[in-house]
Structure 1
Amino acid sequence: MAPARDRRTGFSRRRQYSAFFGYVLAVAGAVVGAALLAASIFNPPAFSTARMAVASVTAPVASLLDSGTDAIASVPQAIGTWINVHGENAALRAELKRHDALLSKARVIAYDNRRLRGLLRVRDRTPEPVLTARLVASTASSGRRFALLNAGRVQGVTPGMPVLGPEGLVGRVLESGPIAARVLLITDPESLVPVRRTRDGLPAIAAGRGDGRVDIRSVGAANVRFAPGDMFVSSGIGGLYAPGVPVARVERAGSDSVVATPYAPPDAVDFVIVERPFMPMPPPLPPRAGPAVSPAAPAR
């Protein structure tokens, strides 16, 4: 026969002891509570002394537990702070490295300018501006790249004049009418501009691609390496464009021929400056007179 589930405490000595001590603790707690309540009512100084004695015992334990809790809670914050500081430090180092590279390029360019001016004693010629006009239209869908200038021969605009924007070279005048002119942009496939690299003077050609960008092609050298951000300006070779006019900046690294972005894209240029050619062609020589022929003597 299975034993009954509902047993009394007398069947288990452990349960008897547990029940007994439970009753004892409950009665003791009630007695102590009643005594403390009576002391707080009838003898507040004694109750205050007992309360401070208990507080003196529990305060160190509470302080230790509170310190441990704060230490554990500060661990995630410390880890997050370390990660943030590490990332900010890396970003600052990268920015400092970029600034150092720009400063080095500027110093190299300034040194080259001083050296060339001192050795060659050459003074830059600044062409005289003809006028300031507006680009009123430009091709955007065809493979050719032209722009329309709202000035023509009446204002002194003639074919071959360079056209400059605020940031750099735009192109040259291809045709001119009485009050309008057609500009061949540097991004046109038929446009070729002699350029040089600013950091070392490397000669190259900026050839239009027909898609709003130009190709930078090396001249007279093989396996020439181009780096992203290389700046190219007009070299003055050919006598049309003045030297030192910004033309394009290299987009990606490459060799011999790379794609570059013009400094003055036509869709972002409003007003332009039309200049005279840097070194205009000399006027044609007058025809040479032939040897004088004396008239024949009359026959006698």
Structure 2
Amino acid sequence: MAPPRNRRPGFSRRAQYGLFLGYVGLVGGALIATALLLLSTFNPPAFAAVRGAFAEVTTPISSGFAWVRSGIAGVPEGVGSYFNVRNENARLKKQLADNDILVSRARTLNQENRSLRELLKLRDATPESVVAARLVNSSISSTRRYATLNAGAWQGVRHGQPVRQAAGLIGQVIETSPNTARVLLIVDAESIVPVRRTSDGMPAIASGRGDGLLDIRSASVATLTFRPGDTFVTSGTGGVFAPNIPVARVIRTQRDVAIGQPTANPDALDFALVQQTFLPPPAPSPTPSPSASTAP
């Protein structure tokens, strides 16, 4: 048999206690409300003191609930701010990277413009200049040191002509084509340049080592000493390189041989100036015409 739907509290002691406590709370609340109403009416200062005491008790609890409520309400805003800050950080990093690229390009262009201005100034001051052109590549990693010039026979470049920068001598043209030329750098092992020391005019020979440096040896019979810091320029001997072109500076000495660093760095070449040889090649001797045979 199913239990009845309407069960009175008397069937459950727990329900009886709950109902009793509910009545007690209702009656107690009514009494407290009545007492506070009477107190506020007949004794306002005492009611203010009671109200202050209740405020002292309930304020920390209200503050705690307000902090929890504001924290929960601020969670979505905090999450949104995190993602916004992260996106803004990524955008600023990308902007900095782009700015670094622009600054690097600007520095490169500034360096090229400075080198080109110096080269053009040198060309205007040197009457034997042939053409100013760009060195498009250089064999840096090879033991043989060559460079390619983007000017050739159609621009007046000829075999044997010296190639230089404003800073100093670079090399000598060894091959030409209509629009390109191959340059033997002075640091190549096959390169030999007559030089002289600027301090006393001592003649010497500068030959390439193949590692970016030069060996400088005295051209005289007597053994002469070199000192770090000695500078050497072309002497004009041989008639190929014009005098007083900077070539090298001594960085260390080894007995009677000095190790020199080129004045024009061959690993950082951009533009170069091709010049005429210092002395023109001798004119070919005329071929004697055959004399008429005499009749007997």
Instruction: Give the match's secondary structure for 2:281.
Output: coil
Letter in 1 for 2:248: A
Q: Cα deviations across residues 228-267 of structure 1 (Å, max 9, x unaligned)?
A: 1000000000000001000000001443211100001222
**Alpha-carbon distance in structure 1 between the residues aligned to 2:254 and 2:227:** 7
Counterpart CA distance in 1 for 2:255 and 2:280 is 34
Report deviation, 1:179: 0.5
Secondary structure of 2:252's match?
A: coil
TM-score by length of 2: 0.56
Whole-angstrom distance in 2 between the partners of 1:245 and 1:259: 18
Paired AA for residue 200 in structure 2: D
Alignment of 1:112-151 (within 5 A): 128-151=128-151
Q: Report whether the alignment pairs 1:173 with 2:195.
A: no
Match of 2:229, SS? coil
Relative to the length of structure 1, the TM-score reads 0.55
Unmatched 5+ stretches in structure 1: 1-125
- The residue aligned with 2:286 is 286
Alignment partner of 2:170: what SS? strand
Aligned to 1:248: 248
User: Does 193-202 or 265-274 show the bigger shift?
Assistant: 265-274
Q: Deviations over 1:31-58 (max 9, x none)?
A: xxxxxxxxxxxxxxxxxxxxxxxxxxxx
The answer to whether structure 1 residue 269 and structure 2 residue 254 are counterparts is no
Alignment of 1:77-92 (within 5 A): none
Read off the aligned partner of 1:183 and give its amino acid letter: V
Aligned-residue sequence identity (percent) comes to 56
Alpha-carbon deviation of 1:290? 2.6
Q: Give 4+ residue runs of structure 1 displaced > 4 Å after superposition.
A: none
Q: What's the offset of the Cα at 1:269?
A: 2.1
CA offsets per residue over residues 212-231 of structure 1, 9 Å max, x none? 11100111233311111000
Q: Secondary structure at the match of 1:272?
A: strand
Matched with 2:233 is 233
Aligned to 2:199: 199
**Cα RMSD, aligned residues only:** 1.6
Radius of gyration: which is bigger? 2
The amino acid of 2:151's aligned partner reads: A
Distance 2:255 2:224 in 1: 5
3-state DSSP of counterpart to 1:251: strand
* Paired residue secondary structure (1:252): strand
SS at structure 1 position matched to 2:283:
coil
**Residue by residue, what CA displacement relative to the aligned partner does 1:59-106 show, whole Å, maximum 9, x if unpaired?**
xxxxxxxxxxxxxxxxxxxxxxxxxxxxxxxxxxxxxxxxxxxxxxxx
Deviation at 1:154, TM superposition (A): 0.6
